[in-house]
């Protein structure tokens, strides 16, 4: 089985991947909110690009069916002690919020360990309601108890540290993570309209995998998961249907060095 590769095809059938061979899956599925995937945006204007475009406006039933196929493949390829992390957000449509808790229906045979709130400072603006400033990360494990959770590698400084009360100056980062969205002046910024930040994925890869493990992203987009996996000396496999995004990932991967994000706590 090949690793460190992004396939330009749909992840509905991941025929290149063996059963129970993947250590961890992290992904952000398309949201079905009519995002202009596959188009280049320049100075606020959409410039049509060549190649296949993904239409982020499937009939809701077709959208859910596509996710069902992808998630069932995810379960097939995941190792027994593996984890799946899914980043998803509320959708706002026709004046009301549709929360994404339906995602749990696909994973009734797995164990929901956390619903992480990823909180950020800026994003779309509105004066009709409070500005949305969070997304979710659902964490499911295949086994109830046997799963990787390398907490020491992702602890954060305890600002309220008291030597008389706490053993360590580091603490569990909790299930609310404040991590900036990828803004226009970030080095990691690409043309992808729905890129998630490397720091978010760094924490997820750090806590749920070890060096040389295999990380899968079935909706690879601009290659964030692959770039962070490489920097942390993990292997990656990805799927992405828009060829332009694969090119963006490849360019991005050329620029990052294997192991550049490893520190002495990694094993
Ligand atoms: C929310 S984006 C992922 C963004 C990614 N996390 C990043 O940081 O760039 C979802 C991606 O899934 C791709 N996609 C949609 N349907 C797909 C399918 N069936 N198989 C593989 N990729 C698909 C879209 O083209 C889009 O790039």
**Residue 265 located in a structural domain:** no
Query: Helices (DSSP H) in the chain: which residue ranges?
Result: 60-77, 198-208, 224-231, 243-255
Q: How far, in Å, from the CA of 29 to the mean position of ligand 1?
A: 6
**Residue 266 located in a structural domain:** no
Q: How far, in Å, from the CA of 235 to the mean position of ligand 1?
A: 19
**Residue 180 located in a structural domain:** yes
Taking the C-alpha atoms of residue 226 and residue 32, their distance in angstroms, rounded to an integer, is 23
Q: What is the mean pLDDT of residues 151-165?
A: 84
Q: What is the mean pLDDT of residues 63-87?
A: 97
Mean pLDDT estimate for the chain = 90
**Residue 107 located in a structural domain:** yes
**Residue 152 located in a structural domain:** yes
For residue 169, give the CATH number of its domain: 3.40.50.150
Q: Whose CA is nearest to atom 27 of ligand 1?
A: 221
Q: Which residues line ligand 1 (CB under 6 A)?
A: 10-12, 28, 30, 37, 54, 66, 192, 194-196, 219, 221-222, 224, 239-242, 245
What is the extent of the structural domain holding 66? 5-255
Q: Whose CA is nearest to atom 14 of ligand 1?
A: 219
Query: To 10 degrees, what angle do helices 243-255 and 224-231 make?
Result: 20
**Residue 262 located in a structural domain:** no
| Both tokens assigned to 39 | 């188009």
165-192 pLDDT tens trace: 777 889 999 999 999 999 888 989 998 8
- What per-residue confidence (pLDDT) applies to 167? 75
39-55 pLDDT tens trace: 555 554 445 554 445 66
Cβ atoms 22, 237 nearer than 8 A? yes
Q: How far, in Å, from the CA of 204 to the mean position of ligand 1?
A: 18
Neighbours of 51 (CB within 10 A): 13
Please enumerate in sequence order all residues whose Cβ is within 8 A of that of 184, keeping only pairs 6 or more positions apart, or say none. Answer: none
Our mutation pick for probing the ligand 1 site, out of 12, 37, 54, counting the most ligand atoms within 8 A of Cβ, is 54
Going by C-alpha positions, the residue among 225, 218, 216, 214 that lies closest to residue 249 is 225
**Residues facing residue 157 across a β-bridge:** 170
Q: How far, in Å, from the CA of 75 to the mean position of ligand 1?
A: 18
Taking the C-alpha atoms of residue 28 and residue 87, their distance in angstroms, rounded to an integer, is 5
Is residue 199 predicted with pLDDT exceeding 80?
yes
Atom of ligand 1 nearest to the CA of 38: 25
Atom of ligand 1 nearest to the CA of 70: 19
Structural element, H or E, at residue 62: helix 60-77
Among 57-66, 108-117, 157-166, name the most confident range: 108-117
Task: Specify the length of the chain in residues.
Answer: 267
Cβ atoms 25, 217 nearer than 8 A? yes
**Residue 261 located in a structural domain:** no
27 phi/psi in degrees, rounded to 5: -160, 165
- What per-residue confidence (pLDDT) applies to 37? 58
61 phi/psi in degrees, rounded to 5: -65, -40
Q: How far, in Å, from the CA of 267 to the mean position of ligand 1?
A: 30
Number of domains present in the structure of the chain: 1
**Residue 119 located in a structural domain:** yes
């Amino acid at each position: 089985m090949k690793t460190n590769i992004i396939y330009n095809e749909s992840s509905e059938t991941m025929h290149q991947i063996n059963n129970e061979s993947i250590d961890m899956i992290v992904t952000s599925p398309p949201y079905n909110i009519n995002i202009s995937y596959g188009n280049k945006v320049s100075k606020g204007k959409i410039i049509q690009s060549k190649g296949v475009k993904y239409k982020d406006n499937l009939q809701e039933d077709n959208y859910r069916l596509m996710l069902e196929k992808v998630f069932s493949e995810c379960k097939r390829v995941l190792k027994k002690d593996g984890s799946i992390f899914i980043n998803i957000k509320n959708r706002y449509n026709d004046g009301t919020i549709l929360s994404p808790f339906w995602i749990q229906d696909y994973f009734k045979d797995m164990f929901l360990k956390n619903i992480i709130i990823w909180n950020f400072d800026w994003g779309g603006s509105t004066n009709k309601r409070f500005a949305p400033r969070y997304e979710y990360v659902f964490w499911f494990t295949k086994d109830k108890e046997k799963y990787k959770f390398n907490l020491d590698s992702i602890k954060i400084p305890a600002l309220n540290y008291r030597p008389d009360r706490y053993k360590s100056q580091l603490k569990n980062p909790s299930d609310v993570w404040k991590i900036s969205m990828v803004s226009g002046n970030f080095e990691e910024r690409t043309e992808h309209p729905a890129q998630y930040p490397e720091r978010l994925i760094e924490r997820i890869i750090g806590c749920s995998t070890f060096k040389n493990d295999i990380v899968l992203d079935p909706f690879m987009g601009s290659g964030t998961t692959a770039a962070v996996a490489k920097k942390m000396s993990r292997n990656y496999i990805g799927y992405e249907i828009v060829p332009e995004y694969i090119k963006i990932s490849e360019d991005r991967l050329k620029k990052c060095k294997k192991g550049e994000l490893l520190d002495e706590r990694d094993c």
